[in-house]
């Protein structure tokens, strides 16, 4: 999973990384709110307002920090989990998409991540549906394979279909055969112990001559 900087590092880098006042204020207010909430559990989403404001802003690095802060809180507090569910109902697809990024759900339990992903798979935006499939793969949620397969059957958008096909294959089989103009070019392989996915070249001739298992083993052994 994603390596996360310490919150102290966020604070120390504010002056260097955020020269514009608007960005700096958003980050500092979110960090202040996070510090307060580490001392006592939030009772309502209102106490998360500064973090949510930063999460919804247009600045990429700012919303990524806010997403990380909210993820850390959601690992401990139900109110923060509910905030993620509320964000998945936002009118803007971009806000809903952010909920399913690794930085946003990297700290939460697999059970809660699966809940968010199920909601994402039913989203009206193909981009959000695609991100939901990618998140299922990122979390290695093999239990979601039947739901991913069901989503693939009804999915119409080519980009979302591609994400779903990739997720189903990696979670079900441990690999995905990638083709370009019907010609086999690469195989994507799921590696153990959270080392991520890797792609290595493969041809139709390799597949027809029974070299698939050897190529998969080679890919899994790569650093």
- Give residue 191's pLDDT: 79
- Give residue 204's pLDDT: 96
- Give residue 57's pLDDT: 98
- Give residue 223's pLDDT: 79
Per-residue pLDDT of the chain (223 residues; tens, 9 = 90+): 556 778 889 999 998 999 999 999 999 999 999 999 988 999 999 999 999 999 999 999 999 999 999 999 999 999 999 999 999 999 999 999 999 999 999 999 999 999 999 999 999 999 999 999 999 998 999 999 999 999 999 999 999 999 999 999 999 999 999 999 999 999 999 876 566 789 999 999 999 999 999 999 999 998 7
Yes or no: say if 82 and 45 are a contact pair by the CB < 8 Å rule.
Answer: yes
Yes or no: say if 202 and 180 are a contact pair by the CB < 8 Å rule.
Answer: no
- Give residue 177's pLDDT: 97
Tell me how far apart the alpha carbons of residues 83 and 186 are, in angstroms, rounded to a whole number: 40
Sequence-distant (≥ 6) Cβ neighbours of residue 51 within 8 angstroms = 30, 33, 34, 66, 69, 70, 73
- Give residue 32's pLDDT: 96
- Give residue 222's pLDDT: 87
Whole-prediction pTM value?
Answer: 0.89
HSE, side-chain direction, 13 A CA sphere, residue 106: 17
Tell me how far apart the alpha carbons of residues 157 and 161 are, in angstroms, rounded to a whole number: 6
Yes or no: say if 183 and 207 are a contact pair by the CB < 8 Å rule.
Answer: no
Query: Domain extents for the chain?
Result: 7-173, 174-223
- Give residue 1's pLDDT: 52
Name the helix (H) or strand (E) containing 169.
helix 158-172
- Give residue 2's pLDDT: 57
CATH of domain 7-173: 1.25.10.10
């Amino acid at each position: 999973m994603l390596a996360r900087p310490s919150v102290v590092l966020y604070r120390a880098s504010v002056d260097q990384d955020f020269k514009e006042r608007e960005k700096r204020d958003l980050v500092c207010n979110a960090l202040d709110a996070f510090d307060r909430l580490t001392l006592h559990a939030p009772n309502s989403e209102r106490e998360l307002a500064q973090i949510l404001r930063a999460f919804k802003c247009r600045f990429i690095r700012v919303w990524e920090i806010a997403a990380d802060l909210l993820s850390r809180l959601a690992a401990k507090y139900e109110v923060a989990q509910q905030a993620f569910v509320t964000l998945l109902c936002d009118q803007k697809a971009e806000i809903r998409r952010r909920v399913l990024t690794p930085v946003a759900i990297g700290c939460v339990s697999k059970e809660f991540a699966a809940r968010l992903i199920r909601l994402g798979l039913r989203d009206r935006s193909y981009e959000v549906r695609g991100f939901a499939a990618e998140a299922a793969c990122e979390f290695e949620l093999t239990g979601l394979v039947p739901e991913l397969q069901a989503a693939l059957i009804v999915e119409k958008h080519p980009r979302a279909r591609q994400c779903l096909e990739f997720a189903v294959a990696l979670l079900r089989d441990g690999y995905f055969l990638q083709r370009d103009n019907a010609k086999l070019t690469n195989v994507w392989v799921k590696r153990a112990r959270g080392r991520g996915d890797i792609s290595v070249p493969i041809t139709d001739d390799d597949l027809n001559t029974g070299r698939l298992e050897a190529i998969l083993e080679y890919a899994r052994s790569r650093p």
